[in-house]
Each structure stands twice: as structure tokens, then as C-alpha cells.
A = this chain, B = another copy of it.
Amino acid sequence: MNEEQLDDLIAYLKFPSVSTDSSHAGDVLECAEWLREKMASQGLEAAIHETAGHPVVVGRNNHIADRPTVMIYGHYDVQPADPLELWDSPPFEPRIEGGKIYARGSTDNKGQNLAHILGIGESIAAEGDLPVNVIVLVEGEEEIGSPNLELFLEQNKEDLACDIVAVSDTGMLAAGLGTFTYGLRGITCMELKVRGPAMDLHSGVFGGAVANPAMAAAKIAASLHGEDGRVAVEGFYDRVEQLQDWERENWARLPVPADETLDLTGAPGLFGEAGFTDTERRWARPTAEINGIGGGYQGEGSKTVIPAEAFVKFSFRLVPDQDPDEILGLVRVHCEKNTPPGVSVDYEFGHSGKSYVMDPQSGFGKAAQEALGKTFDGQPALIREGGSIPIVQTFRDVLGVDTLLLGLALPDCRIHSPNENFLIRNFFDGIRLNRNLLQALAQ
């Protein structure tokens, strides 16, 4: 274990680079500057590129014609840390215990992208150069849907031209089991604001005579699912591709513990769409979820008001071949149809990203599997994942290339949750994986 590399990780994790919260904009900038310096110290030419939002940090080695160009992508922004009271230690004061480092962003994604950067540094230190041309691109807006990265790629298309992208931002099925992810769900988000009376009303004086916006919000939200766990929006499943037989059979054989979801979540039971396994529901079926709901009195005790307004924040996970904009259109029509009388509804549409699937048996796919096999000593698992990395589809659309997903996130790493953590062994395996990957891709 290289103490200096671990110190680098600790320093990186101390920045509260929460991209969704404008009060953290200064922290995001400081984190970007630290990252640029780190890339430079590892032997890359590194620069910060402004965007309309948070900046992109790009590092590159000396490019030589006639060898493949590999882009390593990551993000230095993190999810909000709340609810803070559920963390065992402060989210931006990294704590090491039982071989893990606990901090917001430890797995998602600082630990993983820093492993690549330090792997590159090791290769350059040992060999004087890398076996391939490398572009390291680390952005600061992944957790808010990368709203400015597509334009950045478009505007720098020539400088960023490459043959393949590699990303470590997905999961490993188990510690020590190399895992190649060839598919991801997409996402689209929407917030409803339901408005009724101009102010909170006394529920005795006016109750029964005007519509209650919180009740209307609940009615709209409740209408999104049928009792069978399916999304009840008309047309929602029209473009959904059937799962392939080889995938279902392969997934059924993977070493996923039978009660993994229950153990990891602590949920009182499994619940999902009829006719699909837990794995299939998580990796390859679309969803409609409430991420937040609120309205009316939030404090201690009771306050007998009819709230003036209520909100619901929704997100939808999408699978091939659903289109985010089309889905938002269908959902809006559904919500309008299910809005009870007496309220008005404002719709706000958030970030979107298409789902993604690549052929795991392509040349680059095989190279990725070889690097995983060498790093983790055995045949890697071939999986899809439920999360969304919309930028992967953008790389295909703008740069015309596929993305290799070589994740280092363990099932119990608690990304987006309190006590997010990263296995320190995975950090150092990630450094080795980078070296093995660049060698495999050079062939």
C-alpha cells in the first residue's frame, strides 16, 4: 500500500463538491483546481475548461499517431450528503475503518477516477510513456445529469477524438470479482408543483369546499403505478426491448446472493414488476419512482391546515429503446389526465439520459475482459446495471465510440446514501487495472 496515493485520495474526498447545491459552487471549483494539479503531477498536460456550469478538467499525454486513443472519463462532483444525521462520521472528513474509507464521493466517483489517474502516473514513472494515447476527462456535473458536457464534447470534438472510452463508475458483483458492465439504464426526471389556495387554510373553516393540493399530488403520484408493480402510463412500455435468453440465463447463474437486495437495503420485502427476477428488475426494466414529496406542515405535532401547495419529484429509469423526451411527454399526458379538479399543476423537467447497451464480444470488449481477468485473476462477470451514466450514450452520439465500464463499486458501498464507502483494496486494484487496461488496449 502506497501511503502517498492514499493521502491523495483523502485530500480529494475532503472537497464538498456537491454540484446540485449552488452554495457549494466554490468547493466545486477548488476541487477542480486540485484535480488539475494532481493530473499534472502524474505527468499529464492538464487544464481546466470552463463551461456554462461547473468546469471540466482534462489531462493528456503526448499523442503519437498510429496507436489507439483511449479516453478515461470520471466525475469529481458528488451527491448531496444529507441526511447528515445518519452518517457515523462527517461526510467530508474521510474516515478509515475495517479496510474501507468512508466519505461522500469515495466510491462515486472520486476513488475510482483517481485510481486511473494514479495508474497513469505509475506507468509514466515506470516506462517513461503510456502504451496508448490517453485523454483523461473528469467533469463536475455528472450528479446533475451533465447538462454542459455534450456541448463541450461537440465544441472540442477534434481534440477529444478517440477510439474508445473507459469508465470506472459501475459496480463489482463481489469483492475480487472483476465485473464488465455492457448495459445501463437511462433516466429522466420531472417535478410537479401542485397549487391550490393562495395561502395555507384552516382545515375546519374551508375543509370540504376547496381541493387540497397535497391530496391532489398524492392522487397524481399514486396513479403512476398499477397494483402489479407496472408503470401505469399509457405507452410507457411500447418501445421496451425484450431481454435476450442468453442474458437471462447468464444472469441467473451469476454469484448474486439470493437475499442480496433485502440484505443491502433492509427493506421489509421485495416488490417489483410481476414476471421478472430481482436482478432483471434492477438491471433491465424501467421504473417510475418518487424521489421526494412534500407539502403542508412538516413540524412536530399537528397543524390543521389545507396546504397552499405540494410538490413531487419523480425520476424514471429507462431501458432500450425508450426515449427520455417521449417518456416525459407520455408521463405528462398521464398526470394531466389524473389531476383532480380544483388545483393547477406546474411541470419542471430535469436531467435526462438514454439507456445504453454495447456488444461485450467486440474487440474492445474482449480487451476490457482481459484486463479485468489479469487484475482480478479469473473470468469477469458480464452484467448490466440499473444506474444511469447518460454521458455514455453521449460519447456514442458525439464521438462515435463505445464505452467500457469497468466498475470498482461494491454492493455495500452505499453510494448516494449516508456512510458511502470504498474498499481501499479496490482503490489499489483500480490503479493496477488502469495499467492492465492500457496495455490490453494497445494490442
Please determine whether B342 and A267 come into contact, CB atoms closer than 8 angstroms: yes
Assembly CA distance A227 to B385 (angstroms): 40
Please determine whether A209 and B282 come into contact, CB atoms closer than 8 angstroms: yes
Q: Is A344 engaged at the interface, CB distance under 8 Å to the other chain?
A: yes
Q: Is A374 engaged at the interface, CB distance under 8 Å to the other chain?
A: no
A221's nearest neighbour on chain B, judged by CB, is B218
Within 255-302 of A, Cβ neighbours of B (below 8 Å) are at: 261, 264-273, 278, 281-282, 285-287, 289-302
The 10 A-B pairs with the shortest beta carbon distances in the complex, nearest first, are A198-B266, A204-B387, A271-B342, A292-B296, A20-B301, A222-B222, A292-B297, A218-B221, A214-B290, A211-B271
Q: Is A189 engaged at the interface, CB distance under 8 Å to the other chain?
A: yes
Q: Is A129 engaged at the interface, CB distance under 8 Å to the other chain?
A: no
Please determine whether A265 and B214 come into contact, CB atoms closer than 8 angstroms: no
Q: Is A60 engaged at the interface, CB distance under 8 Å to the other chain?
A: no
Please determine whether A212 and B268 come into contact, CB atoms closer than 8 angstroms: no
Q: Is A14 engaged at the interface, CB distance under 8 Å to the other chain?
A: no
A343's nearest neighbour on chain B, judged by CB, is B268
Q: Is A304 engaged at the interface, CB distance under 8 Å to the other chain?
A: yes
Please determine whether A300 and B22 come into contact, CB atoms closer than 8 angstroms: yes
Q: Which of A22, A310, A386, A418 has the most CB of B within 10 A?
A: A386
Q: Which of A98-106, A320-328, A357-365, A409-417 contacts B (4 or more CB under 8 A)?
A: A409-417
Please determine whether A344 and B416 come into contact, CB atoms closer than 8 angstroms: no
Within 16-52 of A, Cβ neighbours of B (below 8 Å) are at: 20-22
Q: Which residues of B contact A212 (CB under 8 A)?
A: 289-290
11 A-B pairs whose Cβ atoms sit less than 8 Å apart in the complex: A198-B267, A203-B291, A209-B272, A212-B290, A215-B290, A218-B218, A268-B342, A270-B342, A289-B306, A291-B297, A292-B307
Assembly CA distance A344 to B214 (angstroms): 22
Interface size on A, residues (CB 8 A): 100
Please determine whether B300 and A189 come into contact, CB atoms closer than 8 angstroms: no
Beyond the given pairs A198-B267, A202-B416, A291-B305, 7 more chain A to chain B contacts, judged by CB atoms under 8 angstroms and listed by A's residue number, are: A201-B417, A206-B261, A206-B264, A208-B287, A208-B386, A209-B261, A218-B222
Take A210-B265, A268-B196 as given contacts and tell me if A350 and B302 are in contact as well, using a CB distance cutoff of 8 Å: yes
Q: Is A207 engaged at the interface, CB distance under 8 Å to the other chain?
A: yes
Please determine whether B21 and A299 come into contact, CB atoms closer than 8 angstroms: yes
Give the distance to chain B from A20, nearest Cβ to Cβ, in Å: 4
Please determine whether B282 and A303 come into contact, CB atoms closer than 8 angstroms: no
A22's nearest neighbour on chain B, judged by CB, is B300
Assembly CA distance A306 to B219 (angstroms): 19
Q: How does the 8 Å CB contact mask read for A229-249 relative to B, with 1 for contact and 0 for none? A: 000000000000000000000
Assembly CA distance A307 to B290 (angstroms): 8
User: Within the oligomer, what is the number of copies of this chain?
Assistant: 2
Q: Is A185 engaged at the interface, CB distance under 8 Å to the other chain?
A: yes
Q: Is A332 engaged at the interface, CB distance under 8 Å to the other chain?
A: no
Give the distance to chain B from A261, nearest Cβ to Cβ, in Å: 5
Please determine whether A215 and B221 come into contact, CB atoms closer than 8 angstroms: yes
Instruction: Please tell me which one of the listed residues B287, B299, B416 contacts residue A82 in the complex, with CB atoms under 8 A apart.
Output: B299
Take A271-B210, A291-B307, A293-B296 as given contacts and tell me if A301 and B205 are in contact as well, using a CB distance cutoff of 8 Å: no
Q: Is A83 engaged at the interface, CB distance under 8 Å to the other chain?
A: yes
Take A80-B299, A196-B267, A307-B291 as given contacts and tell me if A208 and B342 are in contact as well, using a CB distance cutoff of 8 Å: no
Within 176-214 of A, Cβ neighbours of B (below 8 Å) are at: 185, 187, 189, 191, 195-212, 214
A261's nearest neighbour on chain B, judged by CB, is B209
Q: Which residues of B contact A268 (CB under 8 A)?
A: 195-196, 342-344
Instruction: Please tell me which one of the listed residues B208, B286, B315 contacts residue A272 in the complex, with CB atoms under 8 A apart.
Output: B208
Q: How does the 8 Å CB contact mask read for A399-443 relative to B, with 1 for contact and 0 for none? A: 000000000000000111110000000000000000000000000
A266's nearest neighbour on chain B, judged by CB, is B198
Take A21-B301, A199-B86, A200-B83 as given contacts and tell me if A289 and B418 are in contact as well, using a CB distance cutoff of 8 Å: no
Q: Which residues of B contact A203 (CB under 8 A)?
A: 287, 289, 291, 315, 317
Q: Is A217 engaged at the interface, CB distance under 8 Å to the other chain?
A: yes
Please determine whether A270 and B210 come into contact, CB atoms closer than 8 angstroms: yes
Assembly CA distance A312 to B271 (angstroms): 22
